């Protein structure tokens, strides 16, 4: 190989990357090691094959039940295991949720995501959330829910209520997972995703970077996601938001270029997925967010809050997108460019 040549996968290897042959960690790690410009160029090529490169889909996330979660996720201010000053709340009333959904639609969001801080919802919760889903659908928004592990039959109930997406992140690579969470296993997460997929719901699954993991761990997370059959329709990439009181507060921050690399590798490995900028955008300068769009991110959470942490304000987001010449469109209009 010449000194000025970047290592790449052979064209034949690229052609098989339509979920026909599983990715390996070594292959994905080699993508991470490409020179930055080569990696972004390649990711942009893949992105343009499947999406309008100057369009983005906006989602809004509302915490419908905050705090008091039984899980011990070391990044999460909603865990009952840590003292972060966050008071546990009850499930929001239906009218409050629908009011927030109308405001989200008026601000340009096309998907309304609802988050509930539970290990797993009880049957009485599923019935109430079903009413929320039906009400949000009637407003004219896509719906997404994250509410922890699902038991048998619950995914069917959510689908019947009109749910479009269920979010359940893998968070990190299997070999690093035990250092972040001990109250549920990696297989528990995979089992919930399988229940969601088996009833015909779309899958939203991604992870968090900046938790002290290595680059190889980041490669391992993307391998887990990309090798799901099929891979998720929606892949949120979160940059750790450090909250005082959580065990990960004070962690060394991830290099911004490494975050952009993660977005680019996710785009290459999951070419037709919606790759979403999620938690951590408030800490990202506009230049970094712009590089993420170049790397293949075509969706983002939009609004003033993201569950319990801040998010860039709506007007600021609109200004950035306008300066970049990006249009905000529903998901179906992103495809087939």
State the catalytic residue, choosing from 17, 42, 69, 189.
69
State the catalytic residue, choosing from 17, 42, 184, 204.
204
> How many CA atoms lie within 13 Å of 300's alpha carbon, on the beta-carbon side?
32
State the catalytic residue, choosing from 113, 269, 292, 328.
113
Does residue 73 carry a catalytic annotation?
A: yes
State the catalytic residue, choosing from 17, 144, 195, 218.
144
**Pure H helices in the chain:** 11-15, 25-32, 36-50, 94-106, 123-139, 154-161, 174-177, 186-198, 215-226, 256-269, 286-294, 314-324, 331-334
Q: Which residues pair with 55 in a beta bridge?
A: 327
Contact 292, 259 (CB under 8 A): yes
Does residue 292 carry a catalytic annotation?
A: no
For residues 207-246, one letter each, b for 16 or more C-beta atoms within 10 angstroms of the residue's C-beta and e for the rest, the string is: bbbbbbbebbbbbbbbbbbbebeebbbbbbbbbbbbbeeb
Does residue 328 carry a catalytic annotation?
A: no
Q: Which residues pair with 208 in a beta bridge?
A: 238
Specify the DSSP class assigned to residue 92.
Answer: P
State the catalytic residue, choosing from 17, 189, 218, 276.
276
Q: Find tokens 């699902």 and name the residue.
A: 150
State the catalytic residue, choosing from 17, 73, 261, 269.
73
Q: How many Å apart are CA 18 and CA 1, to the nearest integer? A: 27
Active site residues per annotation: 69, 73, 76, 113, 144, 204, 276
């Amino acid at each position: 190989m010449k000194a000025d040549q970047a290592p790449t996968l052979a064209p034949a290897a690229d052609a098989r990357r339509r979920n026909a042959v599983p990715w390996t960690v070594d292959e994905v790690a080699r993508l991470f090691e490409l020179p930055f410009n080569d990696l972004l160029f390649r990711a942009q090529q893949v992105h343009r094959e499947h999406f309008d490169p100057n369009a983005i889909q906006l989602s809004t996330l509302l915490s419908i039940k905050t705090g008091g979660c039984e899980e011990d996720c070391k990044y999460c201010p909603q865990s009952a295991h840590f003292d972060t000053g966050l008071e546990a709340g009850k499930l929001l009333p239906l009218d409050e949720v629908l009011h927030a959904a109308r405001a989200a639609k008026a601000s340009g969001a096309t998907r309304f995501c609802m988050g509930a801080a539970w290990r797993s919802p009880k049957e009485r919760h599923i019935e109430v959330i079903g009413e929320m889903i039906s009400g949000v659908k009637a407003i004219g928004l896509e719906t997404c829910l994250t509410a922890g592990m699902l038991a048998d039959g619950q995914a069917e109930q959510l689908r019947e209520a009109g749910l479009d997406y269920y979010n359940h992140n893998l968070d990190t690579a299997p070999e690093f997972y035990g250092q972040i969470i001990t109250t549920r296993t990696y297989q528990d997460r995979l089992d919930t995703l399988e229940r969601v997929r088996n009833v015909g719901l779309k899958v939203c699954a991604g992870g968090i970077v900046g938790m002290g993991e290595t680059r190889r761990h980041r490669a391992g997370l993307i391998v887990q996601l990309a090798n799901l059959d099929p891979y998720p329709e929606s892949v949120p990439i979160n940059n750790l938001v450090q909250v005082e009181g959580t065990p990960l507060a004070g962690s060394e921050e991830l290099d911004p270029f490494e975050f952009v690399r993660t977005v680019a590798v996710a785009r290459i490995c999951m070419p037709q997925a919606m790759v979403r900028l999620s938690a951590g955008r408030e800490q990202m300068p506009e230049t970094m967010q712009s590089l993420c769009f170049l790397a293949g991110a075509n969706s983002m959470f939009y609004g003033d809050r993201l569950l319990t942490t801040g998010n860039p304000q709506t007007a600021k987001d609109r200004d950035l997108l306008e300066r970049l010449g990006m249009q905000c469109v529903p998901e179906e209009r992103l495809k087939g460019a």
